[in-house]
Amino acid sequence: TPDVRPLVAGNWKMNGTRESLTEIKAMAEGVQGALSEKVDALICPPATLLYVATALSTDSPLMIGGQDCHQDASGAHTGDISAEMIADCFGTYVIVGHSERRTDHAETDHLVRAKAQAAHAADLTAIICVGETAGERDAYQTLEVLKRQIFNSVPETATAANTVIAYEPVWAIGTGVTPTADDVEIAHAFMRAELTACLGEEGRRMRILYGGSVKPGNARELMSVENVDGALIGGASLKANDFLAIYRVY
Ligand code: PEP
């Protein structure tokens, strides 16, 4: 998208121990240089590593974020973490509504919106994940699902600065299967139109990432599709070499 800064984001999911901090260190070093003037890089490690990860990247343009947050700022919610806690660890982004959260924890579109609002209240940028399941795709419901998820999960206060959309077809996550460039183009153009209709200029400039089996080998093609403003990467973000290879397609 013209005058939009791409974002290459990694989601480590429930992977990573202190040993993996060497990868964060290598990423923090690898994203320095001329490319960082035009492309943003973000890693979302598990919450246990968040604070150390931000400490390791203080002198780097690499940004660190959380993978989920509770919709409340604090309280009696054993095991959850709040957007405030992520901000307190110097995280600047948080993923909300990932399909694994929607499935494993029965998160609804409305809950995802509440989480995005909590992220904004803590001055975090929310990465709101949307995407159809295999069944919905087979029933030709992809655009309908995207419309519903965007309408119900993106808060009215969303701006191009505080919100990123990640299109992740559920059937493409962790499977090695990706949609064709044409399918990605159609989905992203549709989301761009929806976001612009809802949010005007902010929607026109809001970053829309593609996620689902992005690898060094397919990143160039996927990232060159119109209205694809970066990637959300799962498996291939665990190793600095893979993550940096994807970052460098820009
Ligand atoms: C993800 O879960 O956000 C993801 C895109 O995973 P993978 O890259 O492993 O498909």
The residue whose two tokens read 């992740």 is 168
Query: Measured from the CB, is residue 234 less than 6 Å from ligand 1?
Result: yes
Percentage of the chain beyond pLDDT 90 is 98
| Interior angle at CA 69, CA 95 and CA 53, nearest 5 | 70
Task: Report, as an integer, the average pLDDT of 205-220.
Answer: 98
Nearest to 142 by CA among 163, 165, 166, 170: 170
Give the Å distance between the CA of 234 and the centre of ligand 1: 3
The domain limits of the chain are 7-210+234-247
Locate 109 and state its tokens: 């579109």
Candidates 100, 168, 188, 194; catalytic one: 168
Residue nearest to atom 4 of ligand 1 (CA): 234
Give the Å distance between the CA of 173 and the centre of ligand 1: 5
Could you list the residues known to form a binding site, using ranges.
Answer: 11-13, 174, 213, 234-235
CATH fold of 7-210+234-247: TIM Barrel (3.20.20)
ipTM (interface predicted TM): 0.97
Give the Å distance between the CA of 53 and the centre of ligand 1: 20
Query: What separation, in Å, do the N-terminal and C-terminal C-alpha atoms of the chain show?
Result: 13
Closest ligand 1 atom number to CA of residue 175: 10
The answer to whether 72 and 102 have CB atoms below 8 angstroms apart is: no
pLDDT in tens, 185-212: 999 999 999 999 999 999 999 999 999 9
Nearest to 164 by CA among 112, 203, 135: 203
For residue 110, what pLDDT band results from cuts at 50, 70 and 90? very high
Closest ligand 1 atom number to CA of residue 95: 3
- Tell me if residue 110 is catalytic: no
- Tell me if residue 98 is catalytic: yes
Three-state secondary-structure class, residue 113: helix
pTM: 0.98
pLDDT in tens, 28-83: 999 999 999 999 999 999 999 999 999 999 999 999 999 999 999 999 999 999 99
Query: Measured from the CB, is residue 168 less than 6 Å from ligand 1?
Result: yes
Query: Measured from the CB, is residue 174 less than 6 Å from ligand 1?
Result: yes
